Amino acid sequence: MKRLGRFISALIKYLLYGQDVTPDIQQYRYDICMNCEKLKGKTCSVCGCFVKPKTRWSTEKCPIDKWSNC
């Protein structure tokens, strides 16, 4: 239930204020996630988000600050 709440909150923030990042930035973020020790299947074990959409939304950030330079 917490994960659903976090997703809805992130989706609302994206719909109100966000946009898609460039394909290069999305790929950069996705590559970081795919090599992260916190990845469990297709989700982040820290925040519970699905990494594919999270890497695309400009309003999202890595919960352990691995995307800090983009």
pLDDT block averages, 10 residues each, the chain of length 70: 84 92 96 96 92 94 88
Cβ(22)–Cβ(48) under 8 Å?
Answer: no
Report d(CA 33, CA 9) in Å as an integer: 21
Q: What's the domain count of the chain?
A: 1
What range defines the domain where residue 33 resides? 1-6+15-70
Query: Of 48, 50, 56, whose CA–CA distance to 27 is shortest?
Result: 56
Give dist(CA 49, CA 44) in Å, integer.
6
pTM of the model: 0.84
Strands, E assignment, 1-68: 39-40, 43-44
